[in-house]
Every structure is written in structure tokens, then in C-alpha cells.
Amino acid sequence: MFNHSSGRRWWAVPTMAVVALVATGCQSAIEGVDDDARPVVLVVSESWLQSHQGGVGGAAPGEAQARISALQDSIDRLRDETHTGWVGRQDDVTGYLADLSGGSWPGEPRGFMDAYGADLFGVDTAALVLDEPDSVTVPNVTTTRATQAVGDVPVLDATLVFSGRGAGTDLRVTGVRGRVFPGLTTSTTPALTAEQATAAAVAAAGGGAASGAPPRLVVVPTGTGALAWEVTIVADAADVLTAGAYYIDATTGDLLDVRPISAEVATPAPASLRPGATPDTNSVEVTGTDPGGRTLTAYGLKVKRGVELTDTTTESWDPSTKSGSVQTYDASAVTNENQLPGELVVSRTTTISDPDVIAAQAFSHRILDYYASLGRDSWDGDGGTLLSSVNFGPDSFCNAFFTDYLAQPQMVYGNPCIVSGQQMSGTLVEPDIAAHEVTHGVTGTSAGLLYTGQSGALNESFSDYFGNVIGNLVDSEDNATIAEDSCADIPAATPFCKANPDGSLSLRYMLNGSTFDDYLRLLDPGLRLIQLMQYKQDSGGVHYNSAIWNNAMWTIRTRLAQIDGQPGNTSPLAQAFDRAAYGALTTRLTPQSGFLDARAAVEQVIVDSQLDPVVLRTAREVFDASRICAGCAADIKLGGDPISTAPQSQQQPGVSGDRVAWLDLSSNSDFAGYVATTGVDGAAPSLSPTPDVVLVGFAGDAVVSIDVRGRVTRTAGSQRTAVETVAVRPAVLAGLGGSDAGAAWLADASTISYLAADGTLTKAEVPGLQGDSITSIGAGGGAVAVGTDQGRIFSWTPGSGGFQQVGKMTGAVVAVTTYGGPVFAIDDGAASALVTGGQQYPVSKQATPLGATMSDEYVVWAEAVGRAETKVGRTNYPDTDLFLLSLGTGKVYDLRDVPAQQGFPSLSGRRLVWMDAAFGGDDIFTTTVAGGL
């Protein structure tokens, strides 16, 4: 999205490592591998170790130690043989290596895997399909991608990437990253047909329909492997929970897994441009005038009715598959995203009358040409067709976006932005916007940067960077403004067209002066609040925080052009830097990468590409001045002790005694993830087996989770028990009320399930709903509270009677908590109230929907304390602090008067945990609250 984000992004990049520790002499947890004389050659995975030590997780005692010793021996052997400093990092899932680097081995990846594959990665060359080497994306570096297969059937999520140097007989392997799965022996002959599997997937989805893409056979890498049909289900645009890839066991017809990802499940292939194919013989040139008055030339195909806007003159055009063209559709008649792309435009003559149509068709081709010049085969690196739809939505839509969730990803442009009669912008079909959106497609099929917090800000920023690089090339300009052409005829600043220091108007300005000290510390409120009330806070401020990376990158580029004494469009140094930025994005970054990772990636590629030393020096100076450097961020006052500050988004924290649990979004979805659990000491967390959980909370010592299919699971120690299956959409809207005594969730429209600490399940109907829907659930002290969209508050003590209405808020109840009898509720009008002893007392008027919790002594919630501001503008988002109400004295305290948003508190006794944005992402913090307040 250009202005606002969608909660709906799916990325197809494998999950990266979560936690690891170095196996040195001081880590005595690993018996038999402590050898002070050895160099540290292996970073052991704490996650893998926890689940494989002492026989847990199917491993025999001692097996974990044996594996680690064997890996160390193999790395030592490799070091000895090559006399180079190889270091390995153990994979969290397989226990073999996830990353090997630091050395140099003479030969090709194939030979390397013959010699070392089985020992280091658990598979050898026979299990791999190697792609053609790519030496285009990063000059002087050769990247070779390999996927694992059983027979002809690809193994899901199994990829290794080899980096190397040199060519021909002088080729060397210098690094291997990724994950492959040993021990897969499943048969590859399906018992079910594709049709039977499709029917099973549609039934399992309970809605939606199979996409046009034919199901494919894959091996799901659990145990010895399970042969499965992968069926893509598409659904209504808003239905993020039904749509996804469904994996149907090809032998039994059982549903094995669901993943919230698009049809683009294939791993992105490296650039491998086919030799330019000949355009279709019916190809003709078309012309027209775009909304900015440019005379543009594009291409179409002669058909009976005139000229169809399919451009087959692109470098990615492939006549055999009819893919890789550029097409433009008219979406005037489209009323929801499901009907996209609309009608393929057919013009009666070669003169195109709709200015938006000729603009989309011409700019799209220019954008693909630019990426082809970097060695990329269309937007997806795999020769995909680039579709655009113009004239989408009402005039107040005011946006353009790149869909990566429809069966056929595409560009969508709204009309000029008019809100309440005021013209906010001109056309949105202009070069910067087009290139910005297509670059989202490039990112989605390469780094897969998650659209939240720092990774989301980087995702936005790379789109602005290449949007402006390409926009400047198209227009032969040298500006730092984004979407200035949309503001050409706007007389004065509007919310879309903002005033720049030089007097110009544009949507954003690259040289905005922001540094990391200006980082907007907002939380990403997660799926429930997005679906319930569109409360998304720009996914943690991605369109504000992108300004920091924009400013740094464009400053570097501008200085390099100045050194060359040329405009950016022709400066060799600026172009070399563009290539380094592209190499960093497509070969070094991962879904969770933050600003420091991105700086390191850019600098690594500059070094590997052997660019003029002035490029590295300039980049370092500017990154330092932008405060994008380890340890150079301004001192931030913290509200407590960090439990987890890993770069991914951590949401829905809960505490029970000294245990903490949360939802870890480190996989390929912005809303479904792993359950992470650890102690209040913040030791490395352990993760649930699959990243498909949407709700999590404690029920006593046990953890309760609800996954994308509505399956409720109780996990106590290593024991996982299926509790029940619920309708997932209403359950997500209501949320999961967890506590150290028990957990409650919505079993169906009016029935609440309560799981006590001992595992007992009790159900109760909420009476007298009168058509209300339940919008929040809280649990604590053995009681349950629910709130509705009409403001009604109900309370129930499982084991003694049913629900009773106890209170009424003015607006919809968006957060509710209880302990024993008293209930605390927050409505969507920012009012909070305490209900106790049959009375309702107003508490505050600036309460946020960012959660509430309660003990026998205190209530804690997130209160707005001002407005978050940045160098690039005021936001509509509050700064928040955790407030405390003492039930004993009635006093209210600002518990944590510290910068950054705090929210989603959870209490167990006086132990408090919450979500905190102090470090620029969604992290988990803890403290103990004093008594006697």
C-alpha cells in the first residue's frame, strides 16, 4: 500500500533462525563439547537443544551432544582442508547447519555437497535440484540456489543458497545458508487425485473456492515426509483467515497444514533472463497522453475488436507460457477486490483515450526494463506477467497498491483523491507510485520483509527508493520528491500533497532529515484490533519510520552523484549504489531484518562487489550520522526489563507465575505465528511446532492457543492436547482471555468456553445478547468477563451459575478484564470504568484498546498520554503509558511514564509483563509492581 497498510501480507521466504547461543567453554549445558582448546566454530541452537536434550522430542539422550560434536568435527575438518575460517550456525529445526560462512572451498556447490553435505546439512547432492548460478544480481558474487526434492516432488520450505566467487575452474564456495530436511523417504505416488484433494481443501476451508492454479504435489517435511497436495483457496478480500495454502495428505485426505500465504509459494528463483524472446506477431505500438500531459508510447496486440493492451515486447515475455507481458485492465466496474483485475482494455484504435490506461501500460514496461537492467526477470524474478488495473474504487479511495494475495498479484490504481469535495491529489498513475508499488512485489518475492515495525519501515523505504530512482529515469528528472506528479495541479498543501522545504508539494520527501532518534515507537496492535475496529497504527508506523531509511539512502546516493559531478540518473557511483541496494534487498535481507541488518547488508554488498572505496566510506558516514549504528541510538528510558527484544513482532504477552508466553511473528505471515514461551528471566524462548497460531494466553501453567483453523490447543510442558475447534473469525474478534487461573474464549456466537488450570473445560451461554456480538473477553481469579459491541458487560464465575449483565458502557467494549468479581472495561470512545459491588465507576477518558489486566490488588491498562510526533509530521496515534488503578485505595498512577508506546499488559500477582515499543519494534518487557499503592 502506498498510504496505508493492509493487514494482509504473505511472504514466501523460509523462516530464519530464532535463537542461538555460542558453544564455548562457559556454556556448560552441553556436556562433552566443552573444549577450551578449540576455536568457536559452531553456534549451537538453544531451541533445538532444548527440544532434543534428555530424550524430549524423540531424540535419545546423548543424541543432541553427539550431533553437536559431529558438526564441530566436520567444520574442523573443513577448516583443516581449506585453511580458512569456516564457522557454522546450527538450525533450530533440523539440528544440522542453517548457515556456514567465513571460508573458501575450491569447486562448485555440487562437489561441495558431495563432500560435506551429509555431515553438515544432513543431505547430499542427490537430494538437491540446483538452479543455474546467478552472477548478475551482485557483481563478482555467484549465487546458486538449490531446492530439495524427493524424486520429482519438491520438499516444502527446503532451500539452500550457495554463495561463491570466481568462475569456471576457479569457482569457490564461500557460504551456504538455508534449511534442508534429512531422512525423507515417503512414496511420491498419490492415492488421491488433485480433484479429490481440492474438494477436501474446500471442505476444510469452510468457505472460499480453489484458485485457478492447479494443485501441486509437495512433500511436507515432517518425520519421514508426508506426500501432500497443495491447494490454494482464495476468499473474500477481507477474509484473511480462510484464504491460504491448504495441504491435503495425498494418501489419507487429511488436512495436514494451512498456511496464510499467497499462490506464490514457490521459492523465488534467481534472475535468469531468457534471451529476449520475439514479441507476438500481432504486436503493435499504441500512443496516448497521460494525465500529466506526457505523450506516451506503449504496446498492445491486434485483435478482432481493435488493440488489446497486452505488451509482449518486454524482456520477460515468454511465448511458450504466454507470461511475462504487461497488461492493463479497467476496474471501473469492480466493487470489491475479489473482482479484480476487471476488464482487459481493448481500444478500437492504436490511440488510447483513457490517460490512466496509457500511463499504466507505458510505466509498467519502463519499470520492468529497469529491473531487467539489474538482471531481474520481471517483478517476481520468475518471468511473471505484470497486470495493472486502473480506475479502481470511489474518488475517496486515494490509494494505489500491489496485491500479493490474489491468485494473480497485480497493481491497482485508484482515481484522483477527492475527499468531501476537496481535491487532495491529481492522478495516482504516475511513475514514482507505479515503481513504488511494483517494488513491493520485488520485496515480497525476495527479502519478504514483514510489514510491521522496522522490517515494515524498510519494506516501505525500498519501495520509495526504487520508486524515485525509476521515476527520475522515466521523467529525466533529479528530484527527491515522491509522487510529485500527483501534486502538479494541486494549488496548496493537502494531507496527500505535503509542502517540502523547497516549496514543492509531494506525498513524501526523501531528504527529510530524519535520523533513528526520530523513530516513532508505536506498537503493531495485531490482527484482533485490525479486524474489530481497523485499529492498526500504520503497522507500527511503517510510513513514518521509512523516512529514516529514505533519508539515509538518498543522502548517500546524492553525495555519490555530487562526487561524480553528475545527476543521479547518469552518475556511475549512484548507479553502483543502486545496484548495491538492490543486491542487499534481494540477497541479504530476511523477513525480520531491521535497520542495523539493512545497514550491514548494504555495506557487505558494497564490499563484495568491490565498489570504489568512496562508496563504502560515504555509506558509513551517512549511516553513522543517521544514528543507524549499533549502540549509537539515543539513550532510551526503559519501563522495565526486556524479556524478548528479537527483531520480529512479539504480540499478546501473558504471564503466569514466572512463565511468560506470547505470539512470535517471525514466520511468513503478518498475523499468524508461533507460540513462544520462556521464563521471566528472559532465557531463549521455545517455540510451538507450527507458525499458524492467531491467539495465545495462559490457562494456569498451561498455554492455550487458537490457530488459523480455529483449533484450540492446550500445551502443558511437552504435552499438547486438542481442546475443541471453534469458528475462528468471531473468536479472533472477541480475543482470548488468559490468566494464571484459567482462560476463556468464544466457542460460538454466544457460548464461552473456560479452561481451568487443571484442564477442566466448562461452557456457558451469554444470555440476553439481543443481537449484540461479543467483542472482548477477559479472565482472572477464576472469573470471566465479556463485553459486547453495544457496550454490555457480563460476568461469570465458572462452577457457580451462569453469565449476568453487570454493567454498560456507552460505546463498544474493546477491552475487558476481571479478577474474581470486579470487572474493568474500556470502550471504543476511550472511556474506562470499574464495575464492583453492583456499582459502575468511571475511571478514565483516554483509555486505549491496547488491553487491560487485573489482579486482586490492581488494574493495569494503556492510557493515551499525548500524541506521537515525528520530523515528517504529526500522527493520529497516541503515545501511551501503562496506568494502574489500586482497588484498595482507588488511586490511579502513571505506572511507566516512559517514551514509546506500552500496551497489552498482563498481571500474575505483582509480576507484570507488557508489549513495549522502546526499541522500535514489538518487544516483551516485565517488572514487578510495588505493593501498598
- For the annotated catalytic residues, the residue numbers are 437, 543
Greatest CA span in the chain, whole angstroms? Answer: 84
Question: Closest approach of Cβ 639 to Ca ion, in Å?
Answer: 7
Handedness of CA 458, 463, 468, 473 (dihedral sign): positive
The whole-angstrom separation of Cα 311 and Cα 352 is: 14
Question: Closest approach of Cβ 848 to Ca ion, in Å?
Answer: 11
With CB under 5 to 8 Å by kind, the binding choice for 849 among Ca ion, Zn ion, none is none
List the interface residues with Ca ion, window 461-490 (CB under 5 A): 468, 471, 475, 479, 481, 485
The whole-angstrom separation of Cα 525 and Cα 851 is: 10
Pairing of strands 326-330, 386-392: parallel
C-beta of 232 vs 550, nearer to Ca ion: 550
Class of residue 466 by CB neighbours under 10 A (exposed 0-12, middle 13-18, buried 19+): buried
With CB under 5 to 8 Å by kind, the binding choice for 673 among Ca ion, Zn ion, none is none
**Site size toward Ca ion, by CB under 5 A:** 12
C-beta of 468 vs 853, nearer to Ca ion: 468
With CB under 5 to 8 Å by kind, the binding choice for 485 among Zn ion, Ca ion, none is Ca ion
With CB under 5 to 8 Å by kind, the binding choice for 108 among Zn ion, Ca ion, none is none
Question: Closest approach of Cβ 78 to Zn ion, in Å?
Answer: 43
For residue 794, list its beta bridge partners.
Answer: 786, 805
The whole-angstrom separation of Cα 655 and Cα 443 is: 36
Question: Closest approach of Cβ 666 to Ca ion, in Å?
Answer: 9
With CB under 5 to 8 Å by kind, the binding choice for 404 among Ca ion, Zn ion, none is none
Among 308, 311, 330, 432, binds Ca ion (CB under 5 A): 432
Question: Taking contact as CB under 5 A, which single stretch among the options 182-190, 456-464, 583-591, 678-686 is the one that binds Zn ion?
Answer: 456-464
Closest CA to 184 of 230, 228, 216: 228
The whole-angstrom separation of Cα 593 and Cα 449 is: 7
921 binds Ca ion (CB under 5 A): yes
Question: Closest approach of Cβ 590 to Ca ion, in Å?
Answer: 14
The whole-angstrom separation of Cα 812 and Cα 172 is: 63
The whole-angstrom separation of Cα 651 and Cα 674 is: 10
Question: Taking contact as CB under 5 A, which single stretch among the options 3-11, 226-234, 489-497, 913-921 is the one that binds Ca ion?
Answer: 913-921
Question: Closest approach of Cβ 843 to Ca ion, in Å?
Answer: 19
SS3 state of residue 197: helix
Check if the beta carbon of residue 756 is closer than 8 Å to that of residue 555. no
C-alpha cell at 757: 488450570
With CB under 5 to 8 Å by kind, the binding choice for 541 among Zn ion, Ca ion, none is none
Backbone angles phi, psi at 626, to 5 degrees: -85, 5
Question: Closest approach of Cβ 327 to Ca ion, in Å?
Answer: 24
C-beta of 460 vs 827, nearer to Zn ion: 460
Site string for Zn ion, 622-661 (x = CB under 5 A): ----------------------------------------
With CB under 5 to 8 Å by kind, the binding choice for 582 among Ca ion, Zn ion, none is none
C-beta of 389 vs 686, nearer to Zn ion: 389
Closest CA to 653 of 667, 664, 645: 664
C-beta of 385 vs 468, nearer to Ca ion: 468
C-beta of 483 vs 527, nearer to Zn ion: 483
Check if the beta carbon of residue 652 is closer than 8 Å to that of residue 662. yes
**819 half-sphere exposure, CB direction, 13 A CA radius:** 18
The distance from CA 378 to its chain's CA centroid, rounded to whole angstroms, is 22
C-beta of 482 vs 862, nearer to Zn ion: 482
C-alpha cell at 171: 569457482
Question: Taking contact as CB under 5 A, which single stretch among the options 71-79, 84-92, 452-460, 529-537 is the one that binds Zn ion?
Answer: 452-460
**Site size toward Zn ion, by CB under 5 A:** 3
For residue 508, list its beta bridge partners.
Answer: 482
The whole-angstrom separation of Cα 484 and Cα 97 is: 48
Question: Closest approach of Cβ 645 to Ca ion, in Å?
Answer: 6
Question: Closest approach of Cβ 536 to Zn ion, in Å?
Answer: 14
C-beta of 366 vs 714, nearer to Ca ion: 366
C-beta of 463 vs 472, nearer to Zn ion: 463
C-alpha cell at 304: 478482432
Question: Closest approach of Cβ 547 to Ca ion, in Å?
Answer: 15
Closest CA to 919 of 634, 539, 537: 634
With CB under 5 to 8 Å by kind, the binding choice for 471 among Zn ion, Ca ion, none is Ca ion
Backbone angles phi, psi at 420, to 5 degrees: 50, 45
With CB under 5 to 8 Å by kind, the binding choice for 789 among Ca ion, Zn ion, none is none
List the interface residues with Ca ion, window 877-906 (CB under 5 A): 881
The distance from CA 778 to its chain's CA centroid, rounded to whole angstroms, is 28
Question: Closest approach of Cβ 363 to Zn ion, in Å?
Answer: 16
Question: Taking contact as CB under 5 A, which single stretch among the options 181-189, 591-599, 810-818, 918-926 is the one that binds Ca ion?
Answer: 918-926
Question: Closest approach of Cβ 582 to Zn ion, in Å?
Answer: 17
List the interface residues with Ca ion, window 770-789 (CB under 5 A): none
With CB under 5 to 8 Å by kind, the binding choice for 415 among Zn ion, Ca ion, none is none
Tell me the residue nearest to Ca ion as measured from the CB: 921
The whole-angstrom separation of Cα 746 and Cα 726 is: 8
With CB under 5 to 8 Å by kind, the binding choice for 715 among Zn ion, Ca ion, none is none
Q: Cell 507470461 sits at which residue?
A: 323
List the interface residues with Ca ion, window 254-273 (CB under 5 A): none
Question: What are the respective helix, strand and coil percentages of the chain, to the nearest 5?
Answer: 25, 35, 40
Q: What is the DSSP letter of 14?
A: P
Closest CA to 97 of 32, 160, 144: 160
Q: For residue 888, what are the contacts with CB-CB under 8 A and spacing of at least 6? A: 857, 933
The whole-angstrom separation of Cα 296 and Cα 354 is: 12
Backbone angles phi, psi at 305, to 5 degrees: -85, -5
C-beta of 340 vs 864, nearer to Ca ion: 864
Closest CA to 709 of 195, 392, 246: 246
670 binds Ca ion (CB under 5 A): no
C-beta of 228 vs 864, nearer to Ca ion: 864
Closest CA to 906 of 671, 704, 652: 652
Q: Cell 479478577 sits at which residue?
A: 819
With CB under 5 to 8 Å by kind, the binding choice for 724 among Ca ion, Zn ion, none is none
State which H helix or E strand residue 249 sits in.
strand 244-249
Check if the beta carbon of residue 77 is closer than 8 Å to that of residue 42. no
List the interface residues with Ca ion, window 604-623 (CB under 5 A): none
3-state SS, one letter per residue, for 89-130: EECCCCCCEEEEEEEEEECCHHHHHHHHHHHHHCCCHHHEEE
923 binds Ca ion (CB under 5 A): yes
List the interface residues with Zn ion, window 462-521 (CB under 5 A): 463
User: Using only C-alpha atoms, what is the Rg of the chain?
Assistant: 28
Site string for Zn ion, 57-96 (x = CB under 5 A): ----------------------------------------
Question: Closest approach of Cβ 877 to Zn ion, in Å?
Answer: 18
List the interface residues with Ca ion, window 629-658 (CB under 5 A): 650
With CB under 5 to 8 Å by kind, the binding choice for 475 among Zn ion, Ca ion, none is Ca ion
Question: Taking contact as CB under 5 A, which single stretch among the options 19-27, 71-79, 343-351, 432-440 is the one that binds Ca ion?
Answer: 432-440
C-beta of 401 vs 794, nearer to Zn ion: 401
C-beta of 3 vs 901, nearer to Zn ion: 3
Residues found near Ca ion in the complex (CB under 5 A): 432, 468, 471, 475, 479, 481, 485, 650, 881, 921-923
Residues found near Zn ion in the complex (CB under 5 A): 2, 460, 463
